[in-house]
Amino acid sequence: MPLNENLNCPNNGLVGTNKTCTVLQEEQVCKNCDYQIVDPVGKIYTGKTDEAGTFTLPLQVNGTYRVSIIRNGQIIQSVTVDALSSTKPIENPPQVYVSQDWTFLYALPIVLLLILAVYLYWRVTKKRK
């Protein structure tokens, strides 16, 4: 009679993080069960579950990982886990509107008064000659 094995892994995770997968056999934790991980590049990793029926899935590369339970050299069950890029998408920077600097208007009356004073001084001194 074949054993009923169940592989539970998260659907996805961020690159650079570790995820935990659990293997159950007949609704009990599957201690020392064989598993296989094929990363997005095609590299194969194998191992055995711990006493709690779990193993760590390191998401090192962006892409899809295939995780499988192995018994007698045969794949019993497989799931896929997507490793997503941990960088946030580049957003358009907010538009910055630069307003005109109108502070020179405060100095404008003073400049006009100085020009007027120079003109009047020049005019008064010219009439005296």
Instruction: Work out the pLDDT band at 1, boundaries 50, 70, 90.
Output: very low
Domain boundaries, given as residue ranges, for the chain: 5-84
pLDDT digits (tens, 9 = 90+) for 64-84: 999 999 988 899 999 999 999
pLDDT beyond 50 at 128 = yes
Q: Does CATH place domain 5-84 in 3.40.50.970?
A: no
More confident residue, 101 or 125: 125
Give buried/exposed letters for 38-58 (b at 16+ CB in 10 A, else e): bbbeeeeeeeebeeebbbebb
The backbone torsions φ and ψ at residue 50, rounded to the nearest 5 degrees and listed phi first, read -85, -170
